[in-house]
Chain A
Amino acid sequence: MTDIDARAAMHLSDASVSVELETQGMTLNIGPQHPSTHGVLRLVAKVEGERVMSVQPVIGYMHRGYEKLTEVRTYAQITALVNRIDWVSGFANEIPWIRAVEKLMEIEVPERAQWIRLILTEMTRISSHLLFMSSYPLELGAATPLMYALREREYVMDLIEGLTGGRFHPNFNRVGGVKPAAGGGSTQKKVSQDLPAGFFQGTREAMDRIDSVMDELDELVTGNEMVRARTIGVGVIPPEKAIEFGLSGPNARASGIDFDLRRDGEPYLPYDQVDFDVITEQTGDSFARYLVRKEEIRQAVRIVRQGIDNIKPGPLQAKVPRVLKVPKGQTYVRTENPKGEMGFYLISEGGRIPYRVKIRSASFCNLSILSWILEGALVPDLVAIMGSLDFVLGDVDR
C-alpha cells in the first residue's frame, strides 16, 4: 500500500466516524451466579444493545468427577452417586445404572420391583416437570405459578420421601430389586418386606391433585397472552438441528422428533404393559417445549395410575450374591429420563469395582445447542430460551 492510499484510508475511516455513530459491542458475563442460569452456568455473551451476537457457555463449575469416582467405588455405592447427577430426578438416574449392572450380572428383577421402579420413575418425571412448570414462568416474570406448581410437587416429594427416606436422593434401587421398607433388619424381615402402608392410596390422591393443578396452570400460564407472546416463535429448533446437536427428551419431541425410549428403546421397565402417548409438537419453539412437558405430566399421571392398578404382590428383591461381583464385559443402557436420554456405558473387568463408567447425561447434550440457538436472540429471549431447554447443572457437569 502506498502512502497516498494509507492517507485516503485514514480519511475514509474519519468520514465514517463522523457520519454514523459507531457503537461498541459489550461483553456481558451472565453467571455463574445469576438468577436464571439454574445453578452455576456461565455464559459469555457478546451483546450489541439488546441483541446477542454470540454466546459461549462455560461449564464445569459443578464438576464433581463422578466418572472417575466410579472407578474407586463399589457397584452399590455408585447408586448413591448417580442420584446426584440430575438432582431433581434422582430416582430416574438410578434406573439406567442399576439396569446396566443387572444386565451384566444377568439378574432377573421380580415383577413387583419393576412396577415400583416404574411408578417412582414417573413420579420423578412429574416432580421434575413440575419444577420446570414453576421455574419457567418465573423466568418470564410471573411469580405466582411457581407457588402453585411447587405446592403440588411437594406432595410427590413427600410420597417419595415416605417410601425411600430421601426427598431428592432416594438411593432406593438395589441390584436385583428395590430396598424393602425402613427398619427391615434380619429379625423383622417378614413384616417389613414391602412398601409402607397407604403409599398407593396416597399416590392416587396426589395424582388427582396434580391433575387439578395442571388445569389451574393451564388457565394461569398456557392461555396467557403474554406467555404466548414471549415464547411462541422464540428459540425455534428445527428437527435436523435437534438431531445434529444430540437433543433428546422433551426438547427433541418439541421439534417434532417422535422418539421416546420408553416406547422405542430397548425395553427396560414394564412400559409395554401401560398405555400412554408420546407427546410431540411440530413447531420446535419455546412454547412447544413448554407444552410437551406440560402434557408429559398428564401422561405420567396416567402411567402412575395404571402402575398402581397393575401391581401385584410378590418379592421386592431377586436372589443376589452377598458380595456383588460383576462378570467381565461391557454394556450400554439408556433410558428416557425427565430431562432426556440418560445412558451409562459400563465396562467391568470383573470384581467389585467397575473398570470405567461413561455417563451420557441429557442436560449436557441439550445445553450444547445454546451457542447456536442464542445467536441473534434478544437478551430477554436468552432467558426464555435457556429456561425452555430445562437443564440442570449437576446433570451437565457431573
Chain B
Amino acid sequence: MNFWLELVVKTVLVLILVVLPVALVVIFGELKISAHIQSRIGPYFAGGRFGWAQPLADGAKFIQKEDLIPAGADNPVFRFAPYVVLMGTFATFVVIPFGPDLAAENLDVGIFFLLAVSSLSTLGVLMAGWSSANKYSLIGGLRAAAQLIAYELPLVLAALAVVIQAGTLSLSGIVEAQANMEIFGLGIHLPYVLTGQILSFIIFTIAALAELSRIPFDMPIAESELTMGYLTEYSGLRFTMFFLGEYAAMISLAAVASTLFLGGYYLPGLSGDALKVAGPFILLGKTLILCFVFIWMRWSWPRLREDQLQSLAWKWLIPLALVNIVVISIFKVVL
C-alpha cells in the first residue's frame, strides 16, 4: 500500500479508537476531579448517572454556537490554526507503542519524531494569536512562543537522558530496554523512574506542564489577565478543536512520560501473551494516573509569571538536565 495512505488510515484509526474516547474520559475526569477538589459535586444528571455524558453534551453545545470570525482577522490563518494545533498533537499518537508490536508506526527515531511534531502545535497557537486581530490574543500567542523556547530544551534534554540509558531512539525499544534491564542481578525489572531517572522524570513533567500550557504555566491563556489569550476570538467548532487539542496533548504527553519513565505498556511480572493483551490497558492506566496529577496541580495552584517560567527553565531545569545527562552517561559507561 502507498505509504501515505497507510499513514493516514493508521492515524485515523488511532484517533477514533484511542484519542477521542480517552480525551472524553479525561475531560470528564477534569470536571469531576475539579469539582471534588473544590467541594462541589460536578456534573450529575447528564447521561442518567454520575453525569458521564457531560463532555458529550458540552461538545454538542459548542458545535451549536455561532462560528465567529472577527472582521479584522487574517481569515485563512484564523481558520487553519486549530487544525495545526490538532495535527501536531494527533501526530504524536502514531509512534506511541500501546503494546509489544502494537504501534501505528514503530519508527526507529520515534522519540525524535514525537518531540519534533509536538512542537508544531505551538505554531498553531502562534497562528491563532497573530490572526485573531486581538491584542490579548497576540500577547497570548507570543507568550506561547516564548514558552516554547524555554521548556522545549529541558523536555528534550530529559528525554535524551532516557535515550542514553536505553541506547535507542525507538519508543518500543525504550520500553523493551526497561523490561530487560537488570539491576544488580536481582531479577526485578523496574521502570526507569526508579532506576536513576527520577530527576529526568521531574524535569520532563514540569516541562510537559509548560508545553500543555496548564496551570501553573498557563500564561498563554491566563484568563484573568488576557481574558482567554489566543483563544479569545474563537467560538463554536473551532474552539472545540482547541479544547480537544489541549486534552489530546495532555494524554499524549502523559503517555510519552509513561513510556519513557514508567515502563510504558510493561508491568513487572507480565510477559508474553498476557502483556500483549494487557499492554494497552497498562499504558492507559499509567497515562490516566499522570493526567490525574496534571489535573490535581491545575486546581490547586496559581499561575506563575512568564519571566518566572523563563528563569525556572534557564536557571534550574536546563543546568539540572545537563548535569543529569552527564551523570547518566557516566553510569552508562561504568555499569
Contact B300 A142, beta carbon cutoff 8 Å: yes
- Are A226 and B216 in touch, CB under 8 angstroms? yes
* Contact A35 B223, CB 8 Å, known A141-B215, A142-B300, A144-B38: yes
A interface residues, tally (CB under 8 Å): 32
List residues of B (277-311) whose CB comes within 8 Å of A's CBs. 299-308
Q: Does B302 lie within 8 Å of A137, measured CB to CB? A: yes
A102 at the interface (CB under 8 A from B): no
Chain B residues near A147 (CB-CB < 8 A):
38-40
Whole-angstrom distance between the alpha carbons of A142 and B304 in the complex? 10
Complex Cα–Cα for A386 and B303 (A) = 16
Q: Given A28-B135, A148-B39: A230 and B302 within 8 A (CB)?
A: yes
Q: How far is the CB of B334 from chain A (nearest CB, A)?
A: 36
Query: Per-residue CB proximity of A342-378 to B under 8 Å, as 1/0?
Result: 0000000000000000000000000000000000001
Selected from A29, A34, A141, A381, the residue in CB contact (under 8 A) with B302 is A141
Kindly state whether residue A140 has any CB partner on chain B within 8 Å.
yes
* B225 close to A380 (CB less than 8 A): yes
Residues 24-59 of chain B: 1 if any A CB is under 8 Å from the residue's CB, otherwise 0? 000000000010011110000000000000000000
Q: How far is the CB of B149 from chain A (nearest CB, A)?
A: 15
Nearest CB in chain B: distance from A184 CB, A: 38
B70 to chain A, nearest CB (A): 15
With a cutoff of 8 Å between Cβ atoms, the chain B residues found around residue A141 in the complex are: 215-216, 218, 222, 224, 301-303
CB contact under 8 A between A224 and B306, given known A139-B224, A151-B39: no
What residue in chain B is nearest A143 (Cβ atoms)? B299
Contacts of A229 in B (CB 8 A): 304-305, 308
Residue pair A144, B300 in contact (C-beta under 8 Å): yes
Q: Does B227 have its Cβ within 8 Å of any Cβ on chain A?
A: yes
| A317: Cβ under 8 A from any B Cβ | no
A21: min CB distance to chain B, Å: 15
The answer to whether A143 and B38 touch across the interface, beta carbons within 8 angstroms, is yes
**What is the bound-complex CA distance between A142 and B142, given in angstroms?**
23
Whether the Cβ atoms of B224 and A36 lie closer than 8 Å is yes
Q: Measured between C-beta atoms, what is the minimum distance from B126 to chain A in Å?
A: 15
Q: How far is the CB of B305 from chain A (nearest CB, A)?
A: 5
A residues less than 8 Å from B215 (CB atoms): 141-142
- Would you give the shortest CB distance from A290 to chain B, in whole angstroms? 12
Q: Is the CB of B302 within 8 A of A50?
A: no
CB distance from A59 to the nearest CB of B (A): 20
Q: Taking the nearest CB of chain B, how far is it from the CB of A236, in angstroms?
A: 16
If A143-B38, A148-B39, A226-B216 touch, does A383 touch B225 (CB 8 Å cutoff)? yes
Contact present for A380 and B219 (CB under 8 Å): yes
State the CA gap A297–B34 with chains docked (Å): 27
Say whether B251 faces chain A, with CB atoms less than 8 Å apart: no
Partner of A380, one of B37, B39, B227, B305: B305
Instruction: Determine the residue in chain A with the shortest Cβ distance to B225.
Output: A383
Q: Which of A132-152 contact B (CB under 8 A)?
A: 137-144, 146-148, 151
CA distance A352 to B36 in the complex (A): 55
Whether B248 sits at the interface, judged by CB under 8 Å, is no
Contact B307 A378 (CB under 8 A): yes
- Check A26 against B135 for contact (C-beta < 8 Å): yes
For residue A227, CB closer than 8 A to chain B, the reply is yes
Q: Does B260 belong to the interface (CB within 8 Å)?
A: no
Distance in Å from the Cβ of B32 to the closest Cβ of chain A? 14
Chain B 202-224 interface 0/1 with A at a Cβ cutoff of 8 Å (1 = within): 00000000000001101100111
Minimum CB–CB distance from A286 to chain B (whole Å) comes to 12
* Interface flag for B139 (CB, 8 Å): yes
A229 to B, closest residue via Cβ: B308
Residues of B within 8 A of A (CB): 34, 37-40, 135-136, 139, 142, 215-216, 218-219, 222-227, 299-308
Q: List 29 A-B contacts (CB under 8 A).
A: A26-B135, A35-B223, A35-B227, A36-B224, A50-B139, A139-B224, A140-B302, A141-B215, A141-B222, A141-B224, A141-B301, A142-B300, A142-B302, A143-B38, A143-B299, A144-B37, A144-B300, A148-B39, A151-B39, A226-B303, A226-B304, A230-B302, A230-B303, A230-B304, A378-B305, A379-B225, A380-B225, A380-B306, A381-B305
Query: Closest 4 A-B residue pairs measured CB to CB?
Result: A141-B303, A140-B302, A142-B302, A147-B38
Residues of A within 8 A of B (CB): 26, 28-29, 34-36, 49-50, 137-144, 146-148, 151, 220, 224, 226-227, 229-230, 378-383
